[in-house]
Structure 1
Amino acid sequence: MDDQDSRRWEYEILRPPRDETKKEAANPKAAINELAAEGWRLVETIDYTSGGTKYIVFERPRSAATGDGS
């Protein structure tokens, strides 16, 4: 097993601002760029069945300083 296979990951979820119709009410670009600057990488969006983005999922390698203690 190489370092890539043994790497631990952590995840962050961004919930875009929505109005009462559950459609995006504001562009989440600033929040996405902020997460990217912290080392987060976009991996998936989770959409409502009727349209619109419910969650934006990010991942980054877990550093030794943020280990889970196991």
Structure 2
Amino acid sequence: MTDTPATEWEYETLRPARDATKKEATDPKARLNELGAAGWELAGTISYEGGGTKYLVLKRPRSTTQSA
């Protein structure tokens, strides 16, 4: 049996635009589609304590040709 090295991940964050009421002002779908085409996938969210999304967290496998 051979040991397979663990996948190394890289991460990206996207901050949805907010309006004066602190609600999400625009749909981030276009930007998410751009990131998805580049290999990113949604991994989770970071929310404000009172509700609402502060950041969308994306990940993709780190390429072996990329430097850290």
Same fold (TM over 0.5): yes
State the match for 2:4 in structure 1: 2
In the alignment, structure 1 segments of 5+ residues that lack a partner are: none
Q: Secondary structure at the match of 2:59?
A: strand
Residue 23 of structure 1 contacts residue 51 of structure 1 at CA under 8 Å; is this kept in 2?
Answer: no
Instruction: Identify the structure with the greater helix proportion.
Output: 1
CA offset at residue 2 of structure 1? 1.6
In 2, the alpha carbon distance for the partners of 1:34 and 1:55 equals: 17
In 2, the alpha carbon distance for the partners of 1:41 and 1:21 equals: 28
- Structure 1 segments of 4 or more deviating over 3 A? none
State the match for 1:18 in structure 2: 18
Among all aligned residue pairs of Structure 1 and Structure 2, give the percentage whose two residues are the same amino acid. Answer: 56
RMSD: 1.2
In 2, the alpha carbon distance for the partners of 1:47 and 1:67 equals: 30
State the match for 1:52 in structure 2: 52
In the alignment, structure 2 segments of 5+ residues that lack a partner are: none
In 2, the alpha carbon distance for the partners of 1:10 and 1:38 equals: 12
How many pairs align? 66
